Structure 1
Amino acid sequence: MAEAQPPLAARIAAYVLFLLLGFAVSVCGSFVQALWPPVGLLLALGATAATFYAGLRVTGTRLGAAMPAAGWFLALVLVIVPRPEGDTVLWTNATSLSWMFVGSILGVICATLPTRTSWFPGVPNSPR
């Protein structure tokens, strides 16, 4: 009933790829959520959830969802720090705070989902 996991080398490559993808989604999402509120926030959160869930499904491990979340948090920490000139990317408004809070919750949710189910929650695996 359990799916076969990808080979170890492929999983390690996928972990690194999803770490970088999580970093990129965080940086892009930080700008998109501020550019087109509130639609930008929904787009950024959708991309974030898709990245975390794809990491879980592609690797078949919870670490696969945790790696893009780690990259997402790392980029978020770098984006939060103000520049010496006083420039900031994330402000203390509702959309920026929602971006950080809901994105964090999505990372935790995807990292704690079951690893060996079908692609869509609630849909049973096909019999083999």
Structure 2
Amino acid sequence: MSAAKGGGSAGRGGQRSRAGAGGASGAGTGGPVRPTASAALSAPLTPGRVALYVLLLVAAVLVGLAGTLLQAAWLPGGLVLTLAGTGGLFYGGARATGTTAGVLVPGAAWLVTIFLLLGENRPEGDFLFGAGIGSYVFLLGGILMAVICATSARMRATGVRHGGVGG
């Protein structure tokens, strides 16, 4: 009787060892997704794509200028509106171009515009940005929006599946 129990547990132990081996057989069984050099990451520069990048650059400068003035004018609502505008610009750039450069180009232009305006003194001696919490939330929130959109665009381009943890 003990021999039968030992044989049965050995059979189950064998199944456990095969299941715990990492599933080497069967490539489509939820193995790790390896990033590949896809066309979305290294898209060729065409005249249309360059024009789209220039358009995104100009839009980022305009969104940065408008956000600078609007976030302080209507403090709670204006801040939310400017952060939604910057997030929409970065997400739209990623979707329109299908590359991470669609986020990086307007993100860099927005950041340079904001930091140039941040250091600018007006003739009256005032700054365009006040020293309140709204200005800091606008600066850090815009940078955070760019990072989130660039990361999600890169994940879409490499084919990372969303969903269950561990396969």
Q: TM-score range by the shorter chain?
A: 0.7 to 0.9
Q: Using the TM superposition, give the Cα deviation of residue 8 of structure 1 relative to its aligned residue in structure 2, in angstroms.
A: 2.0
Higher gyration radius (CA): 2
Q: Name the TM-score, length of structure 2 as normaliser.
A: 0.64
Q: Does 1:31 align with 2:69?
A: yes
Consecutive unaligned residues in structure 2, runs of 5 or more = 1-37, 163-167
What RMSD, in angstroms, separates the aligned Cα atoms of the two structures? 2.1
Q: Does 1:90 align with 2:129?
A: yes
Deviates more, 1:50-59 or 1:108-117: 108-117
Q: Using the TM superposition, give the Cα deviation of residue 7 of structure 1 relative to its aligned residue in structure 2, in angstroms.
A: 7.0
State whether residues 52 and 110 of structure 1, in contact with CA within 8 Å, keep that contact through their aligned partners in structure 2. yes
Consecutive unaligned residues in structure 1, runs of 5 or more = 123-128
Q: Does 1:112 align with 2:151?
A: yes
Write the distance in 1 (CA, Å) between the matches of 2:119 and 2:45. 39
Match of 1:74 among 93, 99, 112: 112
Matching residue's letter, 1:52: F
Deviates more, 1:75-84 or 1:97-106: 75-84
Moved >6 Å (runs of 4+): 2-7
Write the distance in 1 (CA, Å) between the matches of 2:75 and 2:138. 11
How many residue pairs align between the two structures? 117
